[in-house]
Homo-oligomer: A and B are copies of this chain.
Amino acid sequence: MRYARISVEGRAVWGRVGESDIELLSESPIDGEPSVIGAVPRATAVWLPPVVPLVFYAVGMNYPRHIAHAGARTPDRPEVGYRANNALTGHGSPIVKPADVEGRFEAEPELVAVIGRRLRRATYEEARTSVFGWTIGNDVSARTWQHQDRSFWRSKNSDTFKPMGPWIETDVDALAQRTTLRVNGEVRAHFPTGDMVFDPFDHVVEMTRHLTVHPGDVLWMGAESTCRIAPGDTVDVEISGIGVLSNPVHLEGT
């Protein structure tokens, strides 16, 4: 099943995505039991981030080739950082490059796990069954700011820097897929989605030793490769079996 959030008369409404229509739902399918309250044509949908998490977790170095390329040390245990909800934007909405960004401005194609239930001290099997579904994230990053800031606040969390979507796919073996990053239709990165040092379930096991995850929390899983993007580009992140997250890049103030 594919679940999305779309804008209907200015309100965020959950939907079940079909081939030509989106059935509108009465409440979240993650922790509710929604009924169908209407339908809209899929072609005209305004896509929102498929969920706004209580906590937005993000894994850093997690792909062996990325680690080797960066000359970094392979992590010996799963760790997480954070991103900020203000930066979320939906499929089709612009990534706005701030006018004062200098240096490398990049896309990072990532698998995203959406947590389905409250969980503490999970076993690997509990972690595995705690994932409601999977979506796609683009961890847009301004590298000069990333080196200048004491946290990633500007570099990774400026408004629109976290496209996520288009929907949550509940029926896919996410780790058996392939991730493809395209700019203006040209393939710029292509890697096995599951080729991770620690998988999402390893992370949930380690995280829940110390904290409770909640329904709707998201865990972004890192990227193997990145590429530069610029105003005028269209950036697609595709994960086979899930879908394509596509966003145009605009320059602030234009």
Contact = CB atoms under 8 A, between A and B. Distances in A.
Given A150-B60, A151-B80, A153-B79, A159 B120 contact: yes
A210 B96 CA distance: 10
A67 interface: no
**How many copies of this kind of chain does the complex include?**
2
Given A54-B52, A159-B120, A211 B86 contact: yes
A84 interface: yes
A151 B79 contact: yes
B84 A210 contact: no
Interface string A68-87: 00000001000111101111
A222 to B, nearest CB: 12
Most B CB within 10 A of own CB, among A85, A149, A214: A85
Given A52-B54, A54-B52, A159-B120, A214 B153 contact: no
A213 B86 contact: yes
A179 interface: no
Contacts of A213: 86
A219 to B, nearest CB: 12
Nearest to A58: B151
Contact of A82 (B84, B120, B154, B211): B84
B85 A54 contact: yes
A55 B211 contact: no
Interface of A: 52, 54-55, 60, 75, 79-82, 84-87, 98, 120, 149-151, 153-154, 157-159, 207, 210-214
